[in-house]
Structure 1
Amino acid sequence: MIRPDQIKPDMPVVCSEDGQFATVDHMEGSNSIKLKKDEAGQHHFFPLSWVTSTEHGKVKVDRPGDKAMQEWSTVSPIL
Structure 2
Amino acid sequence: MVSASEIQEHMEVRSLDGEHVGTVDHLEGSDRIKLTKNDSPDGEHHHLIPLDWVDHVDAHVHLSKNASDVRAQWTHVAN
Instruction: Assess same fold via TM > 0.5.
Output: yes
| Distance in 2 of aligned mates of 1:70 and 1:54 | 22
- Is residue 36 of structure 1 aligned with residue 20 of structure 2? no
List runs of 5+ in structure 1 lacking aligned partners: none
Report how far residue 11 of structure 1 moved: 0.4
| Distance in 1 of aligned mates of 2:30 and 2:3 | 9
List runs of 5+ in structure 2 lacking aligned partners: none
Report how far residue 4 of structure 1 moved: 0.7
- Is residue 65 of structure 1 aligned with residue 67 of structure 2? yes
**Moved >4 Å (runs of 4+):** none
When normalised by structure 1's length, the TM-score is 0.88
| Distance in 2 of aligned mates of 1:40 and 1:11 | 18
Give RMSD over aligned pairs. 1.4
Greater strand content: 2
Counterpart position of 2:3 = 3
Alignment: residue pair count:
75
Counterpart position of 1:48 = 51
Cα offsets for 1:20-63 (capped at 9, x unmatched): 111100000110000000243100001000000002x1000011
| Distance in 2 of aligned mates of 1:47 and 1:22 | 13
